[in-house]
Amino acid sequence: MRSFLAIALALASSLSFGQSSSPAQSSSAREKSAAVTYLFPEQITIAAGKPAAVDLHFKVADGLHVNSHEPRAEELIPTTLSLPDSSGVHLAGATFPPGKDFTFAINPNEKLNVYTGEFTVHATLISTKGEHLVQGTLHFQACNNAACMPPHTIPVVLDVIAK
């Protein structure tokens, strides 16, 4: 019985050895494994009530791709950007970059339209006067060469100062 207990304790300690109890470390691990990361800007100053051009920068993790804003097949999930209606900041338009053609070796005749590496969305924002912390979102589906992950949404947080 003692040997069973010793084995169970050894097994339990070895299973928890690689786990971090530090929130900073687990947050860092999540950031490293993110399929798409919002890079910048974090804060912008624009004229209140007037359309303002803002470039939003994103990065797709190495080894992954996401469908472009206009994928070639109806069943593929496009990359989209949205801002909440209640934020005081209106997304008047968003121009996504053209995607890059991508094919799999097993089916070279089927071309996908995807983003890899860094890409920029050219957004047009109209804001009411004041400072607004906007919690926008980027919705996408990331894939590698073998499989696609479930669709995912990341926050796009902007501090908009409209004067």
pLDDT tens string for the chain (163 positions)? 333 333 333 333 333 333 333 333 333 333 446 999 999 999 999 999 999 999 999 999 999 999 999 998 889 999 999 999 999 999 999 999 999 998 877 788 888 999 999 999 999 999 999 999 999 999 999 999 888 999 999 999 999 999 9
Torsion sign (Cα): 19, 23, 28, 33: positive
pTM of full prediction above 0.95: no
- Three-state SS sequence of 103-148: EECCEEEEEEEEECCEEEEEEEEEECCEEEEEEEEEEECEECCCCE
- Three-state SS sequence of 8-59: HHHHHHHHHHCCCCCHHHHHHHHHHCCCEEEEECCEEEECCCCCEEEEEEEE
CA 9, CA 19: separation in Å to the nearest integer?
Answer: 16
What is the token pair recorded at 70? 């206009």
CA 46, CA 118: separation in Å to the nearest integer?
Answer: 25
CA 79, CA 84: separation in Å to the nearest integer?
Answer: 17
For domain 34-162, give the fold. Immunoglobulin-like (2.60.40)
